[in-house]
């Protein structure tokens, strides 16, 4: 059963990555209505009579999402049953399935009745929370925390609060990025990092304010990640999980900002845009692991204080 659980967790994790990248592909190629206003079938037909590229992309996304939904359901039930004694497992099992269903319902509602850009922009962030929950379940199943001796890790309260705050803030940054896509504001600024090299702060219209708002938010996330990295390098020199994890987080953040700039320079190259979605997903996954470690550190700290 342990081998089966590990296999399902790996399939669910990579499957959820495909769902996230597939959703970004649907948005980037404007294939959201490729199946018409029908859901879950395309144009109300089991086998579509008219095949278009948009239909193939949208239908593939629905099929992958459905298959991953089954995997996540299996993962949640089996994790609850066999490793439910681990403190975080039951909550993660619930959130992984709940947010996956929620993002599917928002996607279905967008197809059948239409939604505002503000609501649609939540779609990616909700999927991100589901991915993070599945990713953490996978790490717990593989006992990564034991291999890194994470139990001995003591994260100071101020750093824990920064990790919580940065993780929540990244969801805001992701929302602004998704809003840029849904509001068709991806190329409203033809220059980078400022909107215009001639008049960078004046005469901006709504779409440009959306684009610059996302860049400003992403800039704060970049600086925040760099500062935390140097703080951790200084304070946790001997801890592998902190050093490896935050080095990975820094590399992913640098790559994310670089890809964001390349989207502008390449005039919305599809592969660059999909990588942009993939990298932020991986970055959020790393942060979510440090949220888990932070909550454990707080718990152990409380237990030690009570035993003294």
Catalytic residue IDs: 58
> DSSP class of residue 50?
S
42, β-bridge pairs: 45
**What is the Cα–Cα distance from 300 to 308, expressed in whole angstroms?**
12
- CA-CA-CA-CA dihedral for 159, 164, 169, 172, to nearest 10: 170
Residue found by looking up tokens 């454990």 in the block: 296
CA 239 distance to own-chain centroid: 26
Q: Quick count: other Cβ atoms within 10 Å of Cβ 234? A: 8
User: How far apart, in whole angstroms, are the C-alpha atoms of residue 97 and residue 161?
Assistant: 27
Alpha carbon 152 to its chain's center = 28
> Does the annotation list 276 as a binding residue?
yes
> How far lies 23's CA from each of 30, 32, 34, in Å?
10, 9, 13
CA dist 276 and 258 (Å) reads: 9
Annotated binding residue at 123?
A: no
Strands (E), 67-144: none
Phi then psi dihedrals of residue 157, to 5 deg: -55, -40
Binding-site members are: 214, 276
Binding-site members for heme are: 214, 276
């Amino acid at each position: 059963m342990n081998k089966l659980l590990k296999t399902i967790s790996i399939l669910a994790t990579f499957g959820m990555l495909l769902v996230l990248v597939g959703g970004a592909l649907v948005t980037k190629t404007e294939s959201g209505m490729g199946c018409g206003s029908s859901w879950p079938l395309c144009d109300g037909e089991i086998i579509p009579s008219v095949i278009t590229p948009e239909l193939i992309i949208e239908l593939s996304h629905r099929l992958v999402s459905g298959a991953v939904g089954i995997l996540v359901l299996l993962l949640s039930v089996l994790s609850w049953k066999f490793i439910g004694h681990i403190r975080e497992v039951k909550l993660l099992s619930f959130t992984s399935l709940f947010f996956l269903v929620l993002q599917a319902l928002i996607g279905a509602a967008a197809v059948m009745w239409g939604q505002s850009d503000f609501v649609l922009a939540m779609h990616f962030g909700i999927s991100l929370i589901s991915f993070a929950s599945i990713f953490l379940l996978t790490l717990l199943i593989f006992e990564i925390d034991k291999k890194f001796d994470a139990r001995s890790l003591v994260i100071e309260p101020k750093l824990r609060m920064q990790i919580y705050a940065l993780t929540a803030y990244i969801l805001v940054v992701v929302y602004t990025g998704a809003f840029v896509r849904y509001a068709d504001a991806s190329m409203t600024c033809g220059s980078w990092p400022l909107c215009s090299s001639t008049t960078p702060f004046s005469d901006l219209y709504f779409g440009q304010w959306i684009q610059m708002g996302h860049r400003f938010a992403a800039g704060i996330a970049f600086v925040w990640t760099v500062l935390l990295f140097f703080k951790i390098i200084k304070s946790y020199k001997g801890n592998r999980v902190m050093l490896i994890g935050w080095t990975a987080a820094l590399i992913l953040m640098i790559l994310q900002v670089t890809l964001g700039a390349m989207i502008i320079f390449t005039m919305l190259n599809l592969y660059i845009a999909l990588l942009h979605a993939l990298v932020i997903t991986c970055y959020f996954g790393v942060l979510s692991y440090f949220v888990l470690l932070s909550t454990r550190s707080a718990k152990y700290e409380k237990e030690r204080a009570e035993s003294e």
